[in-house]
Amino acid sequence: MARRLAAAGWRLGLAARRLPKLEALASELGTGTVIRAIDVASSERARVELASLLEALGGADLIVLSAGTGELNPDLQWGPDRQTIDVNVTGFAALAQFAIDHFLQRGRGHLVGISSVARFRGSGDAAAYSASKAFVSTYLDGLRDKVRASKLPIAVTEACPGFVDTAMMKADKPFWVATPDRAAACIHSAIRRRAKHAFVTRRWALVGWALRLLPA
């Protein structure tokens, strides 16, 4: 996604937990890219670091929140579920709220949050992950309603990926697996269209529709 946005002419601020990877990417993208180490699980500190990043950039017109975690946890151990909630719920909400406050003060902007097709259905093997992504989607809906009332040109996009070929993919028999580049292309298209919702890839809309109809 960073490479696509840079190619489209955006000046980038990049944040993640692992600073060496950010430094390598920033070096590839060239001068002007600003980086910060942010651990989303430490939500209050993450807000401070995001503020620092936005100050260094002189503000932002687009914020993409893609940090997320999740583990298969069929034995319902508390540690993995707590980590998922800290990152996907508390951390996400802390930064999404901060982003919307920034856009309201700026008078414009675009927030993109990465949810998941998993948000449509609870999972016995990954209960916290599915629930956390349902939170992400519903929270984005609420923020969209908030900015609609402001009548400012602020967009809120919910991206719902299916399986993407990254370390996050834990399924034994995945299908319709997208490459990271293909997933980034789908989300970039949604950004250009300022879409409210986007499935990654679009065929996953069929799965989302089916999951809505299946009995609980």
Q: Kindly list the catalytic residues.
A: 129
- Reply yes or no: is the peptide bond before residue 69 cis, omega within 30 of 0: no
Do 41 and 91 meet the contact criterion of CB atoms below 8 Å apart?
yes
Rounded to 10 degrees, what is the CA torsion of 99, 101, 103, 104? 160
- Write the DSSP string, 57-100: HT--SEEEE--------TT--HHHHHHHHIIIIIIHHHHHHHHH
Instruction: Return d(Cα 20, Cα 1) in angstroms, integer.
Output: 18
φ, ψ at 189 (rounded to 5°): -60, -40
Query: What SS3 class is residue 212?
Result: helix
Q: Hey, which residues does 199 pair with through a beta bridge?
A: 160
Cα-only R_g, the chain: 17
Do 17 and 38 meet the contact criterion of CB atoms below 8 Å apart?
yes
